[in-house]
Amino acid sequence: MKDIAIIFNREFRAYFYSPIAYVFSIIFIVLNASIYMFHFFFFGNADMRSFFSSLPLVLGLIFIPAISMRLWSEEKKLGTIELLLTLPMKTESIVLGKFLASLLFYLVALAGTLSIPILLLFLGRPDFGPIFGGYFGAVLLGAYFLSVGIFISSFFSDQIVSLIITSLVCGFLTLIGWQYVPMVIDGWIPGLGEFLYNYVGVTRHFNDIERGVIDMKSIVFFLTFTALFIYLNAKFLERRKY
Amino acid sequence: MVELEHVSKYYGVTRALEDVTCRIQKGEIVGFLGPNGAGKSTAMKIITTYTAPSRGKARVGGLDVLERPLDVRRMIGYLPETVPLYDDMLVREYLEFMGQARHLNGKLKSRLNWVVEACGLESVLQRKISVLSKGFKQRTCLAQALIHDPEVLILDEPTSGLDPLQIIGIRQLIRNLAHEKTIILSTHILSEVANVADRILVVNQGRLVADGSFDDLIDQVSDKNSIYLAIRGTRKELQDGLKGIQEVRETAADSDTPRGVSGMHVYYSEKIDMVKKLNELIRERGWEVVEFHRERLSLEDSFIRLTRADSGKPDSGASEKKKGGGR
């Protein structure tokens, strides 16, 4: 536990050493707020539906890859991975420390969007059930995408390559959860699209939670996949020795 | 303290180490010597648990590196060849992080003060690592290797990038540490190994080709006994005189002598007192001796001979230098 805290401390601080983190956080907040404001003024609804419906794509394509890209790629490029993996710490502790630091950074950025529900509170009478659900889903979704991004960054020493591959994978996981994409895939290979939609795509599970329906299946889905990718990351780094 | 037992390492089909066996005792300073790509760094990575051997066993303090990696890592301080540092941290922050990661807890402050003084980092403690000179980066990385007072110190090119004064300082530090620690260092600077190490392991193409002290290595590759004699006189005079000694197997003229002086490398294979025989010849001929000494191979010559012999290449470089009269 102490080892996780030591790595977490270094990694979380490292985000604030670089301007990239600030830039991406501002982009994340401004982009989400802009998309939301467009819908808000166009349709005049005092809810956050439009915010949460675009969130998986914004997270998967831009923000999460930008947070996760440096976590292992930078260590590989600087060669610090050699010292890190020869410290008297379990690889799992190092991976968890990095994951939790990136998760906290994401949560800080996500907290920046809380200005939207606060604004709604003054402008109308929003139903806070779906808003709480949406934020809860955003935490689970962010954690899942981050575990995928960290795992991918352990393969590459180039941060840009990590970013692009993570974008592609998270983008795929999002799109496969949209109804018409599996239909197209089913047209090529019958049954595959439906399988991917049910068991791999994140959007359906995120939408369930975002609607305020706290379905245990969806929660278990996100937690299981997050744990799986953290585990795979540690195992991959151990296997690298051989 | 450190044992490699028939250790081999393959990266795919590429052989990095092949059947290396050696045992390093506590308190020894051992220098790994070898050309680039010889397998020195691979051997170090195996000892530090960063990479696993494909075959064989590696042990540190009696513990297997694969079975007890965390306990092995606690015993080891490691300075990798690439001098890996977090550029965005201050030197103090970095050393504190490494100290915490090494579980120093209450000892952190005192150990931090010790390494800062030992490695001469007082003036840069509050500076960002990215703005340090190469020498200070090297010393910062050495400091992290020492911060937990490890029993075994693995130093891959420890003086690379340092100026001569800093090199002397680091060498002295290594010598001071040697009384209580086992030190394994690799370097391309041959004189450094000769100066610092008690024992030299020569690695070439993944195989251990020599293991011994500086003197042992030179004896191992010296296939001829050799004496250099220079007199005031002509080369013919010297050659004629040497022809009279039956045990002289070969001579090589030294073309790099002052005017009026002739020099000759005298090689002999039999175990006779050649100095006595040459003294008798000098007295008999009444020669004025300008230079007269036993010749030994330099560490450079020994290294070339060891690595070339192992590669199956002719030993031309070393013998040409000898016959050309290099002293």
pLDDT tens column, B191-242: 777 778 888 888 888 888 888 887 777 766 665 578 889 999 999 899 989 8
Shared domain for B233 and B169, answered yes or no, is: no
Task: Enumerate the residues of chain B whose CB falls inside 8 A of the CB of residue A85.
Answer: 50
Q: How far is A90 from chain B (nearest CA, A)?
A: 8
Among A81, A83, A89, beta carbon nearest to B78: A83
The answer to whether the Cβ–Cβ distance between A87 and B52 falls below 8 Å is no
According to the model, what pLDDT value does residue A54 have?
81
String of DSSP letters for A89-112: S-HHHHHHHHHHHHHHHHHHHHHG
Shared domain for B202 and B284, answered yes or no, is: no
The answer to whether the Cβ–Cβ distance between A85 and B54 falls below 8 Å is no
Shared domain for B177 and B45, answered yes or no, is: yes
Q: How far is A208 from chain B (nearest CA, A)?
A: 42
According to the model, what pLDDT value does residue B215 have?
74
Q: Is residue B9 part of a domain?
A: yes
Q: Is residue B299 part of a domain?
A: no
Contact A114, A134 (CB under 8 A): no
Shared domain for B162 and B134, answered yes or no, is: yes
Best CA proximity match to A138, nearest among A53, A11, A21? A53
Shared domain for B198 and B280, answered yes or no, is: no
Contact B190, B32 (CB under 8 A): no
Given pLDDT bands bounded at 50, 70 and 90, which one contains residue A191? Answer: confident
Shared domain for B60 and B164, answered yes or no, is: yes
According to the model, what pLDDT value does residue A30 have?
84
Is pLDDT above 90 for A194? no
Q: Is residue B313 part of a domain?
A: no
Given pLDDT bands bounded at 50, 70 and 90, which one contains residue B34? Answer: confident
**Domain, as residue range, for B271:** 223-294
Is pLDDT above 60 for A142? yes
According to the model, what pLDDT value does residue B321 have?
36
According to the model, what pLDDT value does residue B317 have?
36
Which parts of chain A fold into alpha helices (H)?
2-17, 19-43, 49-58, 64-68, 70-78, 80-84, 91-111, 115-123, 128-153, 159-175, 180-188, 192-199, 203-210, 216-239
Shared domain for B136 and B194, answered yes or no, is: yes
Shared domain for B255 and B140, answered yes or no, is: no
Q: Which comes out higher in pLDDT, residue B92 or A182?
A: B92
Domain holding B128: CATH number? 3.40.50.300
Given pLDDT bands bounded at 50, 70 and 90, which one contains residue A127? Answer: confident
User: Which of B212, B244, B269 finishes a domain?
Assistant: B212
Segment among A126-130, A149-153, B8-12 with least mean pLDDT: A126-130
Shared domain for B47 and B165, answered yes or no, is: yes
* Strand arrangement, sheet containing B55-60: B14-24, B2-11, B55-60, B63-64
Max Cα distance, chain B (Å): 78
Tracing tokens 């397998």 back to the chain, one arrives at B39
Q: How far is B102 from chain A (nearest CA, A)?
A: 7
Q: What is the pLDDT of residues A101-120, one digit of tens each?
A: 999 999 998 998 888 888 88
Among A10, A86, A89, beta carbon nearest to B48: A86
Given pLDDT bands bounded at 50, 70 and 90, which one contains residue B325? Answer: very low
Task: Enumerate the residues of chain A whose CB falls inside 8 A of the CB of residue B76.
Answer: 86
Tokens (6 digits) for A70? 């440096």
What sign has the CA pseudo-torsion A154, A160, A164, A170?
positive
Query: What percentage of chain B carries pLDDT values higher than 70?
Result: 89
Q: Is residue B316 part of a domain?
A: no
Q: How far apart are CA A153 and CA A229, in angstroms?
A: 12
Shared domain for B181 and B250, answered yes or no, is: no
Domain spans of chain A, in order of start? 2-239
> Chain-wide mean pLDDT for chain A?
87
Contact B187, B193 (CB under 8 A): yes
According to the model, what pLDDT value does residue B319 have?
36
The answer to whether the Cβ–Cβ distance between A86 and B49 falls below 8 Å is yes
Q: What is the pLDDT of residues B128-167, one digit of tens each?
A: 999 998 888 988 999 999 999 999 999 988 887 777 887 8
Strand ranges in B132-279 using DSSP code E only, listed in sequence order: 152-156, 182-186, 199-204, 207-212, 225-232, 248-254, 261-268
Q: How far is A85 from chain B (nearest CA, A)?
A: 6
Q: What is the mean pLDDT of residues A172-193?
A: 84
Q: Is residue B174 part of a domain?
A: yes
The answer to whether the Cβ–Cβ distance between B86 and A14 falls below 8 Å is yes
Best CA proximity match to B287, nearest among B305, B317, B262, B319? B262
Q: Is residue B136 part of a domain?
A: yes
Q: Is residue B43 part of a domain?
A: yes
Is pLDDT above 50 for B269? yes
Segment among A66-70, B145-149, B298-302 with least mean pLDDT: B298-302
How many of the other CB atoms lie within 10 Å of CB of B256? 10
Best CA proximity match to A63, nearest among A172, A177, A149, A132? A149
According to the model, what pLDDT value does residue A126 have?
74
Q: How many domains does chain B have?
A: 2
> Chain-wide mean pLDDT for chain B?
84
Here the ipTM equals 0.84
Shared domain for B229 and B200, answered yes or no, is: no
Domain holding B237: CATH number? 3.30.70.3100
Shared domain for B193 and B252, answered yes or no, is: no
According to the model, what pLDDT value does residue A81 have?
93
Is pLDDT above 60 for B326? no
Q: Is residue B228 part of a domain?
A: yes
According to the model, what pLDDT value does residue A154 have?
93
Look up residue A163 and give its amino acid: L
